[in-house]
Structure 1
Amino acid sequence: MKKLPAVLTALVLAATLAGCSTGGGTPSAGDASASPAGAGAAPAEVNDVDTHFIAMMTPHHEQAVEMSEIILAVDGVTAPTRDLAQRILDGQAEEIETMLGWADAWAMGDLMEMHSVHVANGMLTSDQMGSLERLADTSTGDATAVAEAETTFLELMHAHHEGAIAMTEGEIQGGGHAGLRDLAQVMVDVQTAEMAEIDALLGR
């Protein structure tokens, strides 16, 4: 499986090099000055699909990070699940940083705030998050409870990934910003592989 940080680094570098070689290419995240409209404005190629995707996918990723933090705090979780959770945490935290860089450069503050309270595809309800937290909190020293918490995490993360992939397909097909479309494809590739990994861990 690809190491996500390296892929993201390559994407940002590619976008930066493209801007240098053409004199007006796609700016990297945070490079608002490369936009013809100036600082605080989105480049001309950015469309509503792009901005909606960032506004909805950012909180979706934030929840995946929170889920991973919950299970990583449980003593006794098996090494494969712990490794998966750490990779999800690290990879999606970096993707959040990248998306927030674009959101800041494109002056998306109001849109981000508006969508922060929405529940995107596959996101856990408050009851589901509460259930995972309770299982994690009560599992210390109890192998059966640890196993239940681990299974619950894997099942919920699988559904969470399914929702993310469904959201991401819209960006790949209709987004205007090449760098964001590339990042969306990375999300699909990585999370599809992680879902297969989860299936194997669950014995499906």
Structure 2
Amino acid sequence: MQHRGFRFGFAAIAASALVVSACSNGSTDSSSDSATTSAAASATSSVASGATAHNGSDVMFAQGMIPHHQQAIEMSDMLLGKQDIDPEVVSLAEQIKSAQGPEIEQMQGWLQEWGVGSTPPGDGTMPGHHMPDHQMPHGGGMGPMPGMPAGGHGMMSQADMTALQNAQGPEAGRLFLTQMITHHEGAIMMAQREIESGQFPAAVDMARSIISSQQSEIDQMRAMLAG
């Protein structure tokens, strides 16, 4: 009887050891799974953060280019509302509208994603001034905002816009081309600065596209004026 009791006691100890071992293995597996999940989440977060990384140049580019594009669309609308305009000039104005409208929406989306307003704070200077969290290279701002005197990266003054509004026929077409060449040249300058200093890949890509498309349109407009 005593021998049989010893067997039962030994069997119980062995069973307990198996249970403890199973629990230990389960705990190890759980910890391993948790560590793997945590690492994957960290990697995903890092990728997402890298995809949205931006700097002050990107903010300045979007905040400056949005009103610049908006004025180009306004100028195009003025022309398209007139009679006796050269069909080539009408086609160009429609082309400008179709290209720049979607770009405005895209840039507004970036600013919303970055938690930044569409217009810069401060005294009417371009983005880059008064932005301690987005220090700008090369000394900051890019010139006057809309409403300021003409000459700020090709922006038309109110007098320029009034002249275009009042012009009619072929003269309106010539004035539109002359003003838009200056306007496009300003956009190219802004885009070049973004390529040099920007960090957000989509913004840099847009800047390259603006330089390519608007330089092509400048060449086209100069040819129209010469013709």
Shorter-chain TM-score tier: 0.7 to 0.9
Post-superposition Cα deviations, 1:143-202, rounded to whole Å, max 9, x if no partner, equal: xxx011110000000000001101110001110011110011000000000000001100
Q: Bigger relative contact order, structure 1 or 2, given CA contacts below 8 A and separation 6+?
A: 1
Corresponding position: 1:118 with 2:141: no
Instruction: Tell me the TM-score normalised to structure 2 length.
Output: 0.65
The alpha-carbon distance between structure 1 residues 110 and 167, as it changes in their structure 2 partners (threshold 3 A), is closer
After TM superposition, the structure 1 = structure 2 runs for residues 5-84 of structure 1, keeping only pairs within 5 Å, are: 23=44, 34-35=48-49, 43=52, 45-84=53-92
The residue type paired with residue 157 of structure 1 is: M
Structure 2 gaps, min length 5: 1-42, 127-143, 147-151
Percent sequence identity over aligned pairs = 33
2:161 to 129, 133, 139: 129
Q: Could you say which residue in structure 1 is the equivalent of 2:216?
A: 193
The residue type paired with residue 156 of structure 1 is: Q
Post-superposition Cα deviations, 1:76-109, rounded to whole Å, max 9, x if no partner, equal: 1111101100000110111101101111111111
RMSD of the alignment, in Å?
2.3
More displaced 10-residue stretch of structure 1: 157-166 or 102-111:
102-111
**TM superposition outliers: structure 1 runs of 4+ over 3 Å:** 22-26, 110-117
Aligned length: 161
The alpha-carbon distance between structure 1 residues 159 and 23, as it changes in their structure 2 partners (threshold 3 A), is same
Structure 1 gaps, min length 5: 1-21, 27-33, 37-41, 140-145
Deviation for aligned residue 1:112: 4.0
Instruction: Tell me the TM-score normalised to structure 1 length.
Output: 0.72
